[in-house]
């Protein structure tokens, strides 16, 4: 179905919609989606290309996955298990506020927001990779994250 809409096909899209349908769209009434589209009319063309905001989105989810949204999915996880939370300051998909919100109920968490970084924090290079390695080596103690302060502004290339 996604291939017919021009969105491509493959495992990545299947995984994306499995998550979106079960964890997000199951809790989002169609009126809420339409209100969001109406609030940003200049983005209407973009929204029209998204299955989630199209007229067939809910039907697609019903056919795509048998998962039914359990209200517990919207409750915060409460745990004292060591957790590492990394966020990019410019991440529009999982913004830094979500990291902070998750940390509120994860009592043994270590969280870091990377300046000048978007969604793929781990792609920022040796700094996040080192933090992850340090965390896995000793999950019970805060990893050395001093490198985060050394990350400068994004480099812009002017053609």
Domain limits, the chain: 11-71, 76-150
Copy the structure tokens of residue 93: 């998909």
- Digit-by-digit pLDDT tens for the chain (159 residues) are 445 545 555 557 777 777 888 888 778 777 877 787 788 888 777 777 777 767 677 777 777 766 566 778 788 999 999 999 999 999 998 999 999 999 999 999 999 999 999 998 998 889 999 999 999 999 999 999 999 999 988 778 888
Opening angle at CA 54, ends 50 and 57, nearest 5:
95
Q: Give me the pLDDT at residue 25, please.
A: 79
CA 98 to chain centroid, in Å, comes to: 9
Q: Please tell me the predicted confidence (pLDDT) of residue 99.
A: 95
Q: What integer pLDDT is reported at residue 159 of this predicted model?
A: 86
pLDDT for the residue numbered 9 = 53
| Bridge partner list, 86 | 112
8: tokens are 């491509």
Task: Tell me whether residue 157 is exposed, middle or buried, using C-beta atoms within 10 angstroms of its C-beta: 0 to 12, 13 to 18, 19 or more.
Answer: exposed
């Amino acid at each position: 179905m996604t291939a017919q809409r021009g969105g491509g096909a493959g495992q990545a899209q299947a995984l994306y919609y499995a998550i979106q349908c079960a964890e997000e769209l199951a809790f989002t009434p169609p009126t809420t989606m339409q209100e969001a589209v109406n609030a940003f009319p200049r983005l209407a063309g973009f929204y029209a290309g998204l299955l989630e905001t199209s007229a067939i989105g809910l039907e697609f989810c019903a056919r795509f996955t048998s998962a039914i949204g359990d209200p517990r999915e919207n409750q915060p996880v409460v745990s004292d298990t060591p957790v590492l939370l990394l966020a990019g300051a410019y991440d529009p998909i999982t913004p830094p506020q979500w990291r902070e919100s998750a940390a509120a109920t994860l009592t043994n968490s270590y969280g870091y927001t990377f300046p000048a970084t978007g969604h793929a924090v781990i792609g920022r290079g040796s700094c996040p990779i080192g933090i992850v390695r340090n965390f896995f080596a000793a999950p019970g103690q805060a990893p050395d994250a001093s490198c985060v302060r050394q990350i400068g502004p994004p480099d812009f290339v002017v053609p």
